[in-house]
Amino acid sequence: MAIAELTPAERDAALADLGEWTLAREGKAIERTFAFADFSEAFAFMTRVALLAESQDHHPEWSNVYNRVEIALTTHDAGGLSQRDASMARAIDALL
Ligand code: HBI
């Protein structure tokens, strides 16, 4: 599916509302690190994100070490950031 990459202005506007997320990969991705009480809490969060990703057909690039989860969002089909990444970041924050 063709989807447009955000312009720098759109990117900066999206990030303004996503206070905990930072720009990465020279503006091609956004990322956030989450820390939970323990592995079980971290994995429960990852399960919720996984179901969200499937429902949105938009999938994170992520890693987990014990109680920490690192998530990066980018749109492969756009070759960088799209509105889908901003929407997904907001939806992920709502799963906390
Ligand atoms: N997830 N992050 C990300 N980026 C994509 O471009 C993407 C995806 N999940 C599924 C998906 N694209 C499909 O639309 C395409 O693989 C067909």
Q: Is 94 in the pocket of ligand 1 (CB under 6 A)?
A: no
For this complex, say whether ipTM is above 0.85.
yes
For residue 6, pLDDT beyond 90: yes
Angle 54-6-73 from CA coordinates, rounded to 5°: 35
Termini Cα distance of the chain: 30
pLDDT in tens, 32-84: 999 999 999 999 999 999 999 999 999 999 999 999 999 999 999 999 999 99
- Per-residue pLDDT at 79: 97
- Expressed in angstroms and rounded, the spacing between residue 95 Cα and the centre of ligand 1 is 21
pLDDT-derived band at 1, boundaries 50, 70, 90: low
Among 83, 92, 37, smallest CA distance to 61 is for 92
- Expressed in angstroms and rounded, the spacing between residue 38 Cα and the centre of ligand 1 is 30
pLDDT-derived band at 2, boundaries 50, 70, 90: confident
